[in-house]
Structure formats: structure tokens, C-alpha cells
């Protein structure tokens, strides 16, 4: 019977004897830099997937000696593959998914745990930089950026309102035009709703980046 494997691509495939179990952990703890360099140069078989692998493709900024052997690298990457359990997705989660394909909660929890592990639980990782890109990264970063700009958007709208008042009205109690200024700014938001409606009618996927459209409308006047 076929054994279930953790589907991932990285240099760890070279040393995994028990599908990343305790034996693999012990082996990795005792590895030296010379062991790693020797394995990358000599081994081309994945013990996890049972196939031939070119492990140099997982390295970046490779350094070689005069004979062409790898003596160092400045970057590497790990790639994990997940399978979404469609049957576990509720109707509410599907309705709230406006940033791409639906994802079940277990997958989102796993991605969050991965982010926390790489950013907080690795202990002393000075001298190293980690770049994490999972399915939920785009939504998280976009939502954070947009939420942080909410105050700026409100302040910008108020400034535009004052500017329109100064240009169209007079500095007295009779010829002020707050209604006209408000209508002008509301036209920007009506244009925004129209854009959303047209894009939805064309079945274009909505993303958090569309929230910058009000800024563009106000900037263009």
C-alpha cells in the first residue's frame, strides 16, 4: 500500500529517512556544513518522493570552486503543497471569499502556524532572513495596509472637501456651497460603485487592492 508523504520540496529530502520523523530530526541536528556541501554535490535522489531530484535548483547565489563543485550558497527555499478540503468549507466561508479560491479553515490555520514558526519560534536566527509567501499572505498584507490607510483616507476626503469649498464658495455666510462640494465628492464614490458593478458583471475577481480606487478617484479630481 502506498505510504502517505508530506509533499514538500527542499534540501531536507536528502536526509529524511522516516518521512520527517524522530530519526530525521536527530540526523539534522548532527549535520555539519561539510556534510551538507558533500550531500548537495553527490546526492540526486529524494528519499521522501523516491525520485531523482536536482537539489541545486533549491539554492540561490551558488558559489563554486575551480572544479565546478558547490562550496556554498546564500539562499534556499522550501515549498509546501496543501490540498484544500472542499467539503469542509461552509457557505459563509465561500461567501466571504473575495480574494481568490475558497480555502478551508484547517488550511488557513496551518499557514498561520507556519508563519508563526518561521517568524517567532526558531530561536536564535540572527544572520538569516526569511521571506514567507503562503496563500493567505496577500490577503493579510493587503488588509493590513488598507486598514492602516483608513485614517489617511478620511483625512484626505476632508482636505478635498475644504479645498472644493474654498474654490467654489465664498468666505461668508451666504455664498458657501457645502452641498455642491459634497455632491462633487459623492460623484467619486458613485463612480467607485459603478466600477465594482461593471467588474462584477464581467466576472473579474475582486481583491483588496481594489480599495485603492477611491484614492485614485479623489486624486484625479
The percent of residues in the chain predicted with pLDDT above 90, rounded, is 0
Q: Give the pLDDT confidence score for residue 177 in this predicted structure.
A: 73
pLDDT digits (tens, 9 = 90+) for 177-190: 777 777 777 777 77
**Cα-Cα end-to-end distance for the chain:** 67
DSSP string over 153-211: HHHHHHHHHHHHHHHHS-SSSSS--HHHHHHHHHHHHHHHHHHHHHHHHTTPPP-GGGG
Q: Give the pLDDT confidence score for residue 100 in this predicted structure.
A: 55
pLDDT digits (tens, 9 = 90+) for 110-166: 888 888 887 776 666 667 788 888 877 777 766 666 666 667 767 777 887 787 777
Q: Give the pLDDT confidence score for residue 220 in this predicted structure.
A: 61
The percent of residues in the chain predicted with pLDDT above 70, rounded, is 75
- Note the pTM of the prediction, 2 decimals: 0.54
Amino acid at each position: 500500500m502506498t505510504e502517505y508523504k508530506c509533499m514538500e520540496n527542499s534540501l531536507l529530502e536528502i536526509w529524511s529517512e522516516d518521512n520527517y520523523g524522530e530519526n530525521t530530526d536527530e540526523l539534522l541536528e548532527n549535520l555539519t556544513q561539510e556534510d551538507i556541501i558533500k550531500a548537495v554535490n553527490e546526492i540526486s535522489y529524494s528519499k521522501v518522493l523516491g525520485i531523482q531530484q536536482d537539489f541545486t535548483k533549491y539554492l540561490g547565489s551558488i558559489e563554486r570552486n575551480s572544479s565546478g563543485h558547490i562550496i556554498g550558497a546564500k539562499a534556499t527555499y522550501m515549498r509546501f503543497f496543501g490540498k484544500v478540503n472542499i467539503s469542509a468549507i461552509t457557505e459563509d466561508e465561500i461567501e466571504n471569499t473575495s480574494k481568490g479560491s475558497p480555502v478551508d479553515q484547517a488550511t488557513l490555520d496551518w499557514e498561520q502556524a507556519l508563519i508563526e514558526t518561521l517568524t517567532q519560534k526558531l530561536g536564535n536566527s540572527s544572520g538569516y532572513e526569511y521571506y514567507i509567501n503562503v496563500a493567505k499572505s496577500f490577503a493579510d498584507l493587503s488588509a493590513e495596509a488598507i486598514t492602516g490607510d483608513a485614517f489617511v483616507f478620511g483625512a484626505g476626503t476632508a482636505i478635498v472637501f475644504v479645498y472644493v469649498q474654498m474654490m467654489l464658495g465664498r468666505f461668508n455666510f451666504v455664498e458657501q456651497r457645502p452641498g455642491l462640494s459634497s455632491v462633487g465628492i459623492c460623484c467619486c464614490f458613485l463612480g467607485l460603485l459603478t466600477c465594482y458593478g461593471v467588474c462584477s458583471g464581467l466576472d473579474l475577481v475582486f481583491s483588496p487592492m481594489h480599495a485603492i480606487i477611491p484614492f485614485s478617484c479623489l486624486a484625479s479630481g
